[in-house]
Amino acid sequence: MKSFSGIVKKNNGHFFTVNDQPVILFAAETHNSAGTSDDYMKNVWKKLDELNCNAVLVPVSWESIEPQENYFDFTLLEKLIDSAREHNKKLVLLWFGSWKNGLSTYVPAWIKTDLIRFPRTENEYGIKSRILSMFGSDILQTEIKSFKRLIEYIKKSDEKKQTVIAVQVENEVGILDAVRDFSSPAAEAFEKNVPTELLEYLKETKSDSFMQLLKHLEHTSDRSWKGVFGDRADEIFMCWNYARYINELVTYAKESYALPMFTNVWLKESDYERPGFYPCGGPVPEMIDVWKGGAPCLDFIAPDIYAFEFDRFAGLYARNDNPLFIAETRRDKWSVANLYVAVGKYNTLCYSPFGAESIGENKSFITQILHTNSADKNVSCEMVKEYLSQSYKLLRNMMPVILECYGTDKMTGFSQDAIRMSKHLKLGKYQILIEFYHQIDEENEFIPAAGIIIERDENELLFIGYGYRAYLKTINKGKQLDFLSLEKGFFDQDANWNKYMDLNGDEQHVQMEEKVTILKAKYYEF
């Protein structure tokens, strides 16, 4: 039998494999409620086909599969898996369990209404929240049983076909509007010492910020959370406990079926944001190491990048111990450009704008938010859909070529930002100046330009993307560079290069079109 889907480490890169084949997920995530209606999903499948997606991320909530305790209903999931197969898409399921965006809105009614077995977090004034507490609660044991049933169902119905290839565990965990759970059982846990495993892990990783923070331990025997972590104790305490909780869920679930499992994060977008404004306890950049120590069974942590600084945040999560996987991102005009950075520069396992069925619509399909409202980070338009679907098609066709470069220094990706009109890059022996054609601002309708450059061998480069010119020099002293040939073309479905035309004379420049294209350049030095 073919082996499971999974994450494989090769060269310096991570590869997502399905049936032993490496694959990049060119995906989109549906709106939250999509999976609750087979009828509604019809439109979503149509949109995913138009976008040329090979995968889709869809929520499966606890309340939908276990409406009464120990009574499971997988009818909707069965339909979802069947339809995914019909549309030739892989499925990443998002388990909306105890926590979704910090809150606990997706747990079944029998959990919501039983505050004795399933107490809530409390703020420092003793006010209860809509968030389930992990402390002094039956929730972990109860969720383990339910999540395991879900994973067992997936194994039973899908192991042979492997339509479901990964599962996100919870959604953007963390406590909102408080820095910590102040309920009595939580306070009791906070009074205890920091677990030695956490301290050992942080020492071993030698992460700069934690080494600084832990330096004072040489002079004190106080190992309480406050004593060790000072001002950051509340957040680190919550992180550790959420991570341990999720690790338990994953450990038990993987005993049944070892699918790749990950969790996603609501980012702290600026240094001014206080914990609680973003869900406190989630794996925000400064807390990745705490999470890695607490949840070693998770395959990776996936950032939801809605922030404008896509490149910076992607870089923070693309680590040796954490492959990049973009589970959610904007669906506005920046979403196309960011795809090239995610794939070309950070070798992402998955790229997935949020709100699949709203991509290219004037109005968010289901939430009814107008896309013209610039306060909505998801402004979308017809052009976004066109560029995204063209890009997905082109990159999917050449996936083997791209995957050969994963984990190497043979590829780079870049995009235009709102300020600069040019960029300097280095690839192999080439120094590259990229100039963009249009200034981008909120007033005009240009799609920010982007590209990927691949060094196929020392003298052959592929230029992919749109909206830029590239000027190249060699780093070899006293040498100049000239074209041997420049071809315009495309990769067919079998990843074979199809030349469309030769470019020479007036046309012999790396001058990309406004639409997504590929140029293949051969150079020589003299």
Contacts with ligand DGJ, residue ranges (CB under 6 A): 32, 101, 171-172, 304, 328, 354
Q: Can you state the percent helix, strand and coil of the chain, rounding each to 5?
A: 35, 30, 35
Quick one: tokens of 191? 């009074």
Look-up of token digits 């209606």: 37
| CA pair distance 58, 201, nearest whole angstrom | 34
CB of 376 to ligand DGJ, least distance (A): 9
* DSSP assignments along 321-339, one per residue: TB---EEEE--STHHHHHH
The dihedral built from the CA positions of residue 18, 23, 25 and 26, taken in this order, carries a sign that is: negative
| CA pair distance 284, 287, nearest whole angstrom | 5
Which one, 327 or 481, has the nearer CB to ligand DGJ? 327
| CA pair distance 414, 341, nearest whole angstrom | 5
Q: What is the torsion angle, in degrees rounded to the nearest 10, for the CA atoms of residue 218, residue 221, residue 223 and residue 227?
A: -80
Which one, 169 or 202, has the nearer CB to ligand DGJ? 169
CB of 179 to ligand DGJ, least distance (A): 21
Quick one: tokens of 253? 């679930």
Which one, 74 or 354, has the nearer CB to ligand DGJ? 354
Which one, 355 or 467, has the nearer CB to ligand DGJ? 355
CB of 92 to ligand DGJ, least distance (A): 13
Which one, 170 or 311, has the nearer CB to ligand DGJ? 170
Which one, 378 or 416, has the nearer CB to ligand DGJ? 378
Which one, 32 or 98, has the nearer CB to ligand DGJ? 32
Distances (CA, A) of 149 to 66, 103, 419: 10, 23, 51
Are 463 and 510 in contact by the 8 Å Cβ rule? The answer is yes
Which one, 63 or 435, has the nearer CB to ligand DGJ? 63
Quick one: tokens of 349? 């396992």
CB of 377 to ligand DGJ, least distance (A): 7
Are 455 and 411 in contact by the 8 Å Cβ rule? The answer is yes
Closest CA to 287 of 311, 267, 304: 267
Q: Using CB atoms, what's the residue nearest to ligand DGJ?
A: 172
CB of 36 to ligand DGJ, least distance (A): 14
CB of 277 to ligand DGJ, least distance (A): 15
CB of 332 to ligand DGJ, least distance (A): 12
By three-state DSSP, how is residue 522 classified?
strand
CB of 309 to ligand DGJ, least distance (A): 17
